[in-house]
Structure 1
Amino acid sequence: MEWQQLEYFRVVARLEHFIKSAEQLAISQPALSRSMTKLEKELGVQLFDRHGRSVQLNETGRLFLARVERAMQEIEDGIEEIRQFHDPFAGKVSIAFLMSFGVHMLPDVIASFNRKYPDVEFALYQNPTTVILPQLLRSEVDLCIIGPFGEEPGVVWHKLVEEEMYVYVPADHRLAKRESIRLEEVAGEPFISFKPGYGVRTLMERFCGEAGFEPNIRFEGDDIMTAAGLVSAGLGVTIIPAFSGIEHGKVRRLRVTEPYCRREIGLAWIADRKLPPSADLFRSFIIEYFRGQGEL
C-alpha cells in the first residue's frame, strides 16, 4: 500500500466519480481505476459499489476513509510542524475563542503580536463554549480562549483577565440616567440573551439567580452586536461585557453593584501536546500581554 494510493482513494471517495477524480489528480482514468482495484485487493474488501463510471463509497469504504483522513491529517500536520521548526516566525496559529472576546480584546492582541511577528498567520474559530473545548480536545486548534470549565484531564487553563459585566438598557429606559443599579431592579424586564451553551448566557442566568429572579428571555442571538442592536431598538435589556462600536446615543451602560457581575477569561491548551513553535510563541506572548495589562 502506497501513500499515493491513499491520496487517490481519498479523492475518489469524495467525488464518487472516476473521470472527475482522474481530472483532479491529473492522471488517466484507467490508471486511477487500476490503482483502486489494486488497493481493494490488498485490503481484501471492496471499498466502492461501482455503477459504470460513477462509484459509491460503501460502508467498508466509509470506515476506511475515516482512518485514512485521520492518518493523512497527522502526516500533513507533521510536515507543517517540521516546516515551522525551520521557520518558527512564519507558521500558523489556530485559536478557538468566545464570541464576545473577539469583539474588542483578541483583535488588539493579534495586532500587537503581528507588529512583532508579521509573518505568522492565524486561523480563528469564533464559537460558543460548548464547541470550543471539544475543538481543543480533538486537536483541531492549538489554543482556545474560554472561561473556567469543569475538571477536564489533560487540559491546562491559565487565567488571562477578569472582565466586568454590565447591564445595557435603551437610551430612553427608566434607568438610563443612572450610573449603577442593583440587578434586581430589572427583574421584570424582557431580556436579550445569547443562545444556550454560550458562556455569557450561563453567566446571565447565574447573576439573575443570585439577584433572586429568573430572566424573562425574549430574544436569543449569537453575538454582542446583535444583542446591543436589539437593546437600542427598545426590545429589552442585556448583560454583556464592555465593548467598542456601540452607538452610545441609543443605549446606556450601567454598572451592577449587586450581585458581583464579573467573568474570568483564560487560555487553554492540551498539557501533553507539543505546540507548534508559532503557537507556543503566541501562548507566551498573550500571557505576558495580559500580565502587563494587569500591571497598568
Structure 2
Amino acid sequence: MSLRQFEYALAVAEAGSVTAAAERLHVAQPSVSQQIRGLERELGVELFARTPTGLVPTVVGRAFLREAQVAVSASRRARATARAGAEELVGELVVVVQMGFGARQLPRALSALRRRFPRLEVTVFEEPSSAELDRLCRRGVVDLALMAACERSPADAHHLGDEDFVVVLGAGHPRLAADRVELRELEGEPWVRFDRASALDGVLTNVLRDSGPAPATAARVSQTATAVRWAANGLGVTLVPASAVPHGHEHFARPVSPAVSQPVIAVVRHNPGPAETALLDLLREENWSGSASPTAPSPVS
C-alpha cells in the first residue's frame, strides 16, 4: 500500500466517481481505477460499492478511509516540517472551529500566516457540535482547533481569551434603545435557534434555564450569519458570539445582562509543526477580550 493509493481512495470517496476524482487529481482515469483495484486486491476487501449514481464507500471502506486520512495528513505535516528549515513551508494545515467562534480574529491570523508562508494550503471548517469537535482532535486529524472546552492537557490547550455573546434584535425592537438587554426582559419572545446538537443552542438553553418557560422557537438554523440576519428582519431574537455578527448588522446587537461568555481555547495537535506554532502565535496577538489592545494569554492551567 502507498500514500498515493490512500490519496486516490480519499479523492474517489469525496468526488463520488473515478472520473471526477481523476479530474481533481489531474491524472488519467485509468490510473485512478488501477490504483483503487490494486488497493482492494491487497486488502482483500471491497472499499466502494458500485451504484448507478456513483461509487459509495462500504462500511469497511469508511473505516479504512478514516485511517487513510490520518496517514495522509501526517505525511503532509512531515513534508511541511522538513521544508520549514529552508523557510519554504508547504503542505496542508487543517483547522476546525466551533461554530461562531473567532469569526473576526481567525481570518486576520490566517491572512498573516499566508503572507508569511504563501505556499501553505489551509483548510478551515466549522463544527457545530463540541463533542464531535473534541473527537476530531483526539483522532489526530486536526492540526489546530478553536473551542470553548476540551479534555486535552495544558501543553496542548491554550486560553486565548473569552468570547462575549450578544443578543440580536429586529429593526424597531424597543430594547434597541438600551445599551444592554436584561435577559428577563426577553421572556415570551420567539427565538431564532440553532440545531439541537449545536453547542450554541446549548448556550441559549443554559442561559434561559432559570428564566421561566422554555424559549419559544421561531426557527432553527445552522449558521450564525443566518441567525443574525433572520433576527434583524424580525423573525425572532437570537444569541450569538459577538464576533459572529456580520458587518453591517452590529447596530442590531446588544450585550446581555447577566453577561454571557465562553472561553476560547486553542488546541494544537501533539508535537506541533512550524505551521501550527506560527498560527497559534498569531492567534495570541489577536484581541479576544473586546478591549482596545490585544493581549498575550497564557496556556490553560
TM-score (norm 2): 0.71
**CA–CA distance in structure 1, aligned partners of residues 272 and 238 of structure 2:** 38
Amino acid in structure 2 at the alignment position of 1:265: V
1:274 pairs, out of 271, 275, 279, with: 271
Query: Larger Cα Rg: Structure 1 or Structure 2?
Result: 1
What are the Cα deviations for residues 78-100 of structure 1, in whole angstroms up to 9, with x where unaligned? 54233212322523211000221
Tell me how far apart the structure 1 counterparts of residues 238 and 83 of structure 2 sit (CA, whole Å): 46
Tell me by how many angstroms 1:130 deviates: 3.5
Give yes or no for contact 1:98–1:127 (8 Å, CA) kept in 2.
yes
Distance 2:266 2:172 in 1: 39
Contact kept in structure 2, 1:102 and 1:126, CA below 8 Å: no
Q: SS where residue 202 of structure 1 aligns?
A: helix
Tell me the residue number matched to 1:170. 170
The one-letter amino acid paired with 2:203 is L
1:226 and 2:231 aligned: no
Give, in angstroms, the shift of residue 168 of structure 1: 1.4
Tell me the equivalent position of 2:132. Answer: 131
| 4+ long deviations beyond 3 Å | 2-11, 13-17, 25-29, 45-48, 56-59, 62-67, 69-79, 115-119, 151-156, 210-213, 288-292
Matches within 5 A, 1:109-258: 109-128=109-128, 129-149=130-150, 151=151, 156-242=156-242, 243-247=245-249, 252-257=252-257
Q: Which residue of 2 aligns with 1:263?
A: 262
**CA spacing shift, 1:284–1:206, aligned 2, 3 Å:** same
Counterpart CA distance in 2 for 1:28 and 1:105 is 43
For residue 29 of structure 2, what is the aligned residue in structure 1? Answer: 24
1:283 aligns with 2:280: yes
- Measure the CA separation in 2 of the matches of 1:112 and 1:233: 35
Partner of residue 299, structure 2: none
- Consecutive unaligned residues of structure 1, counting only runs of 5 or more, are none
* Counterparts of residues 86-125 of structure 1 (less than 5 Å): 86-88=82-84, 89-91=88-90, 92-101=92-101, 103-125=103-125
Tell me if the contact between 2:3 and 2:72 (Cα under 8 Å) persists in the aligned partners: no
Q: 1:143 to 1:213 in 2, by over 3 A?
A: same
Unaligned runs of at least 5 residues, structure 2: 23-27, 297-301
Percent same amino acid among aligned pairs? Answer: 19
The alignment status of 1:84 with 2:80, answered yes or no, reads: yes
Matched position secondary structure for 1:87: helix
Matching residue's letter, 2:222: D
User: What is the CA–CA distance in structure 2 between the aligned matches of 1:103 and 1:175, rounded to whole Å?
Assistant: 25
DSSP-derived class of the 1:112 partner: helix
* Alpha-carbon distance in 1 for matches of 2:268, 2:113: 19
Distance in 1 separating the partners of 2:110 and 2:235: 34
The 8 Å contact of residues 8 and 25 in structure 1, kept in 2 or not, is answered as no
What is the TM-score with the length of structure 1 in the denominator? Answer: 0.72
Cα offset, 1:212, TM superposition: 4.4
Distance verdict in 2 for CA 1:73–1:286, change over 3 Å: same
CA distance in 1, matches of 2:57, 2:214: 51
* Superposition deviation, residue 284 in structure 1: 3.1
